[in-house]
Amino acid sequence: MSENILIVGCGDIGTALGKALHSDGYCVTGLKRSTQHPAQSFKMLYGDVTKDIELFDLLTQSTFFDQVVVILTPTERSEKGYKQIYLQGLTNLLSALQQNAASVKKHTPKVFFISSTSVYSQNAGEWVNEQSATNPTNYRGRILLEAEQLITNFGTSNTINTIVRFSGIYGPNRHHLLKQVDEKKAITEKANPHAYTNRIHRNDCVGVLRFLINSHSQQASLAPLYLASDDNPAKKYDVVSWLAKQLMHSHYPESTILNEHTDLNMNKRCDNRLIIEAGYQLQFPSYQAGYISEIERYLRNKSKA
């Protein structure tokens, strides 16, 4: 591939995506805040999207990017932190990309923006898809919707950028639920244990993005929005009970209480048909398929602790 790809946000998913795209033959550049990580197989820039001058200097002096993947993470999980990264930071980034394109007299690049199913507020077991209403009741969903609009409005009238809404991500280094089940703390007092939950394995997050980038390079027509989740929306109690059985625990007590913040906007079912019909094949179509290797990894890490 001769295309230049910029990945903004090279944490776990961004780094894995960069390695995969590099192996596909793309010229990959990553952008991240922290320098406290080992070198990768692709070029890395270090800068903060919330600092506009620093960002402009980095990107306006870089090569033109054909495709850009934006995987932002707030430095603090608060309304202030979300606004800083998803509104201020994203505005800075899009402005710098526009200047980068103008400097070489090219159209703005194709942008893929990673959002979340937190933009949906449905909580009565409804199915949601790309056409479903989005009326978030929390600041996370509201700010992400504003960020999505920035992406939609970016570029020329011929530009169709793509937003990908991931459901709950699990996988390597994401063993919070497994730890809670192991400690019999996974059903909360405030949450309905029989509410539907949705998830996607971290490897499928990487796989979806890799698939979309390759599809765009091959001139395939992409939708402006995809909901990415596995095939198996499942009730939390069913997931927890299955995990408990795999961990060789007795039947999970439904009355177990964990006193922590609970998102009451759960209990919806995510319909992934659009991304599947586009041609993506899930590596882990169900939580059972995805959690088998994660249980082994969790138990290995536990034994070393």
What single string gives the DSSP state of each residue in 216-263? HHTT----SEEEE--S--EEHHHHHHHHHHHTT--PPPTT----S---
Mean pLDDT of the region 75-82: 94
Mean pLDDT of the region 104-130: 95
φ, ψ at 74 (rounded to 5°): -70, 150
User: pLDDT value at position 126?
Assistant: 96
CA pair distance 203, 88, nearest whole angstrom: 29
Q: 3-class SS at 270?
A: strand
State if pTM tops 0.85: yes
Question: For residue range 59-77, what is the model confidence (pLDDT) as tens digits?
Answer: 877 789 999 999 999 999 9
User: pLDDT value at position 53?
Assistant: 87
User: pLDDT value at position 233?
Assistant: 97
**How many whole angstroms from its chain centre is CA 161?**
16
Say which DSSP state 104 is in. Answer: T
* Residue that has been written with the tokens 């199913």 in this structure: 117
Q: How do strand 234-235 and strand 196-197 relate by DSSP bridges?
A: antiparallel
Residue 206 · residue 16 · CB < 8 Å: yes
Mean pLDDT of the region 147-160: 91
12-24 and 202-217 helices, crossing angle to 10° = 40
User: pLDDT value at position 262?
Assistant: 46
Mean pLDDT of the region 130-141: 96
* DSSP of 129-185: -TTS-----SHHHHHHHHHHHHHHHSS-TT---EEEEE-EEEBTTB-HHHHHHHTT-
Tell which wins on pLDDT, 158 or 82: 82
Res 264 pLDDT > 80: no
Res 189 pLDDT > 90: no
User: pLDDT value at position 190?
Assistant: 61
| Backbone φ/ψ region at 167: left (φ over 0), alpha (ψ -120 to 50), beta | beta
CA pair distance 296, 137, nearest whole angstrom: 37
Res 140 pLDDT > 90: yes
Of residues 45, 152, 139, 143, the one with CA closest to residue 89: 143
* Residue that has been written with the tokens 């479903």 in this structure: 132
* 55-217-73-14 Cα dihedral, nearest 10 degrees: -100
User: pLDDT value at position 252?
Assistant: 59
Give the pLDDT band (50/70/90) at residue 259. Answer: very low
Mean pLDDT of the region 160-189: 89
Question: For residue range 240-257, what is the model confidence (pLDDT) as tens digits?
Answer: 989 999 998 766 555 554
Residue 97 · residue 108 · CB < 8 Å: yes
Q: Containing H/E element for 27? A: strand 27-32
For the chain, give the mean pLDDT. Answer: 90
Question: For residue range 201-225, what is the model confidence (pLDDT) as tens digits?
Answer: 999 999 999 999 999 999 999 999 9
Give the pLDDT band (50/70/90) at residue 94. Answer: very high
Q: What is the percentage of the chain residues whose pLDDT exceeds 70?
A: 91
Q: 3-class SS at 28?
A: strand
User: pLDDT value at position 254?
Assistant: 56
Q: What is the percentage of the chain residues whose pLDDT exceeds 90?
A: 71
